[in-house]
Structure 1
Amino acid sequence: MQTARDVLTPDALAMLQAIASAGSFAAAARDMGMVPSALTYRVRQIEDALDVLLYDRSSRQAKLTEAGAELLREGARLLTEIDAVANRVKRVATGWESQLTIAIDTIISKPTMMELCESFFSLSPPTRIRLRDETLSGTIAALTSGQADLSIGVAAADASNHTDVHSKPLGTSTFVYAVAPHHPLASAPEPLSDALIQQHRAVAVADSIQRGGGMTFGLLGGQEVFTVASMQAKLDAQLRGLGGGYLPRCMADSYIDTGRLVVKKTERPFRHVAISYAWRGGKAAAQGRALQWWLQQLESPTTRAALLEEHRSA
């Protein structure tokens, strides 16, 4: 009989992820170019070796048991670690990482990031670039958990809380309270009180951290909240009058200038947030050449300013 080591291969773990993504054995088999019976047989082999049921067969869907869900979670972690080992081996051999993952907070300018990627790829490096959109504490969490090699748009206070993380200032972002001109608060007398703001829906960005409660800013107890996934989505929602909230001036200025957003003074002062970029590891000699290139670009004051301010269309 096969043992757990025989069946828990990277291919088998990737297969289980494919089943979870497809939602059924039949759909996963089609995606993988297999016949359903072959896929079912491989799953049975894993179940027999572990002596557990991974899927509830009473449903037409590929519904995981608790044991199956745990294997899927741990399998994803193991595959990430395998990729990381391969990355380190490649770096040792050539100096270039096989892949560099960059976590980008949604406050960061996407056009500027694309311009930097374009410059990087013009070098024809052997390194693949993977960009991850993150928000709030999720940006630093992606770095400290090993899911990213570089994080851009980290709150400076978050970066300073980790001894194994190195960071440098990117700049400062000022957040102002803004609403659409047709929103009820647009014509309300200033400064807006917390009691008045609480009566109206707030638009908030969800923290992308995977575990824990994450963080929120500018929300009042008992206030109705419309939660979105990114700072751009928050801006779009407030332009439509779906709620109010604090926005970074660098993203909102063009809409303020054209009258599509109205800045309102509140009882609370505008927030000034120090933003950083951060990476793991210390000595430059231990850094891969791709990470060194990105850190060199971030030394430029012009590049740092553009990452926070250039929110124009690509």
Structure 2
Amino acid sequence: MKLTLDALLMLDAIDTAGSFAAAARQLHRVPSALTHAVRRLEDDLGYAIFERVGRRALLTPAGRSLLTDGRQLLAAADALECRAKRVATGWEVELRIALNALVPFALMLPLIRDFDAANHGTRLRFSGEVLAGSWDALGAGRADLVVGASGEAPRDTRFVSRPLGEAAMIFCMAPDHPLAALPEPLSAQELSQHRAVVLADTTRTMQARSAGMVIGQDTLVVPDHHAKLEAQIAGLGVGHLPYFLAAEALADGRLVRRQTDASRLQEPLHLAWRRDHDGRALQWFVERLTAAPWQAQLAQAVRLP
């Protein structure tokens, strides 16, 4: 093989240092050995890599092209070495965390900062899930850890789950919506005559869930809670929202809260992961997400005042 990683490291050092002599000092080699190695490489490749201008060593156009792509190989080799080292030490290359829509992402930011400070190199990848999608993401392997999986935990021996408390849900609508003028509690019959704004369950393999609807009710399916909030403010339908998300719109009058015959007041939340996953990054997050300080922050963020 004419080109090796050691040869690329040598070319990189010469180009960065600007001369053979400076690169030799950096590589702890004598200049003559470096000069001989470059000449042999040029002979093997069949073209010049450097041209000498005074004491400077400048890359030829072919040499520049070679080193530009070669530096990508050096970076990839370095990343490969780091990944292998992390695997050997028990730290995952990447930890995939699915965050249920009922948990504010802002609560994760201090944990991410603390995790980064440990400087162990595991990448974090967050995704959003709704309803049964949280459990499906875990079972299908799209996520290693689920924060705030809602509803009842499935009877699946592959999962370990811990309760995280409950999220307060309120039934609300625009103040000029026809249901807003009716006496409380609103009946299922009254609700069935008006469209509900609902989230699309993100499950791909499990049976999709619906929540807070009545039989025969028309629906407007939206992609996330922020779209649901905006649709209900616009008067396009009614439905349950997490209190933390609706609080501002309730305070300024863009939404009003109403009681129903079957208002869902609380939605159970869970922390869940696969039993066969024992990486240190997962353990790090589980320890902190099950600790009293973070759970107190979660409770304060998602409960009714």
Distance 1:118 1:253, change over 3 A: same
| Corresponding residue number in structure 2 for 1:63 | none
Distance 1:305 1:261, change over 3 A: farther
Q: 2:298 & 2:143 partners in 1: Cα distance? A: 18
User: What secondary structure does 2:165 align onto?
Assistant: strand
Is the 8 Å Cα contact of residues 107 and 308 (structure 1) preserved in structure 2?
no
Cα RMSD between the aligned structures?
Answer: 2.5
Post-superposition shift, 1:156? 5.1
Tell me if 1:100 matches 2:95: yes
| Corresponding residue number in structure 2 for 1:303 | 294
Post-superposition shift, 1:291? 0.9
| Corresponding residue number in structure 1 for 2:250 | 256
For 1:162, give the aligned amino acid: D
For 1:290, give the aligned amino acid: A
Unaligned runs of 5+ in 1: 1-87
Is the 8 Å Cα contact of residues 212 and 264 (structure 2) preserved in structure 1?
no
Alignment of 1:42-191 (within 5 A): 92-155=87-150, 157-158=152-153, 160-191=154-185
Q: 1:170 & 1:206 partners in 2: Cα distance? A: 23
For 1:255, give the aligned amino acid: A
Q: Percent of pairs identical after alignment?
A: 38
Distance 1:156 1:186, change over 3 A: closer
Q: 1:90 & 1:188 partners in 2: Cα distance? A: 65
Unaligned runs of 5+ in 2: 1-82
Give CA deviations for 1:59-104 in whole Å, capped at 9, x if unaligned.
xxxxxxxxxxxxxxxxxxxxxxxxxxxxx97665121100000011
Is the 8 Å Cα contact of residues 154 and 276 (structure 1) preserved in structure 2?
yes
Is the 8 Å Cα contact of residues 96 and 126 (structure 2) preserved in structure 1?
yes
Larger radius of gyration: 2
Is the 8 Å Cα contact of residues 202 and 245 (structure 1) preserved in structure 2?
yes
| Corresponding residue number in structure 2 for 1:208 | 202
User: What secondary structure does 1:171 align onto?
Assistant: strand
Q: 2:84 & 2:97 partners in 1: Cα distance? A: 19
Q: 1:140 & 1:98 partners in 2: Cα distance? A: 23
- Size of the aligned set, in residue pairs, is 222
Give CA deviations for 1:134-167 in whole Å, capped at 9, x if unaligned.
1111111111112211001112512x42112111
Q: 2:286 & 2:296 partners in 1: Cα distance? A: 15
TM-score by length of 1: 0.65
| Corresponding residue number in structure 1 for 2:279 | 288
Distance 1:153 1:180, change over 3 A: same
Post-superposition shift, 1:250? 2.9
Q: 1:238 & 1:296 partners in 2: Cα distance? A: 38
